[in-house]
Structure formats: structure tokens, C-alpha cells
Amino acid sequence: MADSQYPYPPDRFDDEADAVSFHGAHRAELPFWRENLLYIIIIGAAAVLLVVLLFFIGSMGGGSDDRADDPTTAAASESAAEEASEGEAEAEPSEEPAPEADKSTPLLVVNAGGQGGLAGTWRDTLEGDGWEDVSVATADNHQEEAVVFYRDEEDAETAQALAAEVGAGEARQSDEYNAAVTYVAVDMPGEGGGGDSEG
């Protein structure tokens, strides 16, 4: 179709021009991604940067958490150690106090060391320490180790107090002697008592 401003009447060339679908120079439209390539690059770079930043911040946060966990664990260990030491400190005083001795309990001192006057010397020493009823005897057989015996359970604390006083270790329950508490002595007082002569 001829241009309306064309001054000449249509001819056969104008008819051929109308038959052709394309007029003049023609360029195909650019695809969407090429038209917006710059924006796509910017958005992609921003997304990558965001991911990197999130990863970096996450790794820093994890490290700080680890550092925070360590002091907590150390503090927990210290508190546990303090509690354990306090428990030991509380347990020790319960073991330290010596048993109460009833010094009116009848006490027999047996000379089992083979030394003359051993039982009498111990009697004098114990009476000087406040024991009220001390008698003496001599063992049939020589012994190497001093020991304190008690007959009844009610005298166990008194026997243990005596054993601690004379150094005879742990008091033992026995029916071998008739006295409520019996001290089988093997050394003179001041020579280590019975306990130090072991072995």
C-alpha cells in the first residue's frame, strides 16, 4: 500500500510492496534475559554475597557458642570439684571426733608383753587419765600386738576411745575376758603403746 503522502499514483511496484509482509529493515526482538542482563547479574551477585555473609556469620556464631560452652563446662567442673571437696570436708569432721569414753566402765589391763610391771604401769597411767576402775592381770601367752576388747555392744564406744588413747587400733568384740573392756598391753606407756609395736 502506498504512502498517503506519496505524490504519485500507485503502480505495479507499489502492488508488489503491499504483497510483501516485511517493510524496510527488520530486527528480531531481543530475548528477556538479554534485555535485562545487567539486572540479572546484579541480583545474582547480591544473592551470592548474601549466602556468603550468612555462612560467615553462622560460622562465627558457632565458634562463639563453642567458646561459651567451654567456660560453662569448666565452671560446672569447678563447682562439682568444690561440692566434692565440701562433701569431703563435711565427711571428715564426722570421722575426726574421738568416741566418748565412759571412764567409770570397769577396765582390765593384761600384761601380754612379758615385761614385769607392765600392767601396773598402764594402770597408773590410765587412772591418771581419769579411768576409775582399772584392774590388772597377766596373759598366759606373749603377744606381739596390743589390742582392746569389749564384751557388750554398749561398751564399744568406750573401748574404741581407749584404743585411740593407747594406740591399739580398732577395738574388737570378744568374750575371751570377763571385764567390760580389756586392754592387752605389749609395751610400756610412752614406747608407742600397742599400736606402734605392730610388726
DSSP character string of 8-42:
SPP-HHHHHHHH-S--S---PPPPHHHHTHHHHHH
Q: Do residues 193 and 146 share a domain?
A: yes
Query: Closest by alpha carbon to 181, among 108, 84, 97?
Result: 108
> What distance separates the 2 farthest-apart alpha carbons in the chain?
167
Torsion of CA 49, 55, 56, 59, to 10 degrees: 180
| Structure confidence at residue 79 (pLDDT) | 62
In a domain, 88, yes or no: yes
In a domain, 12, yes or no: no
CA distance 172 to 115: 24
| Structure confidence at residue 54 (pLDDT) | 92
Query: Closest by alpha carbon to 109, among 98, 121, 97?
Result: 121
| pTM listed for this prediction | 0.48
How many domains does the chain fold into? 2
Q: In CATH, what number is assigned to the domain containing residue 153?
A: 3.30.70
| Structure confidence at residue 194 (pLDDT) | 46
Q: Do residues 140 and 82 share a domain?
A: no
DSSP at 190: T
Given a cut of 50, the residues of the chain with pLDDT beneath it are 1-2, 64-65, 67-68, 194-199
| Structure confidence at residue 176 (pLDDT) | 84
* Residue 8, C-beta contacts closer than 8 angstroms, at least 6 positions apart: none
CA distance 138 to 163: 19
In a domain, 34, yes or no: no
Q: Do residues 91 and 139 share a domain?
A: no
Domain interval for residue 139: 107-197
Q: Do residues 48 and 114 share a domain?
A: no
Q: Do residues 132 and 160 share a domain?
A: yes
Q: Do residues 152 and 74 share a domain?
A: no
Polymer length in residues for the chain: 199
In a domain, 100, yes or no: no
| Structure confidence at residue 48 (pLDDT) | 94
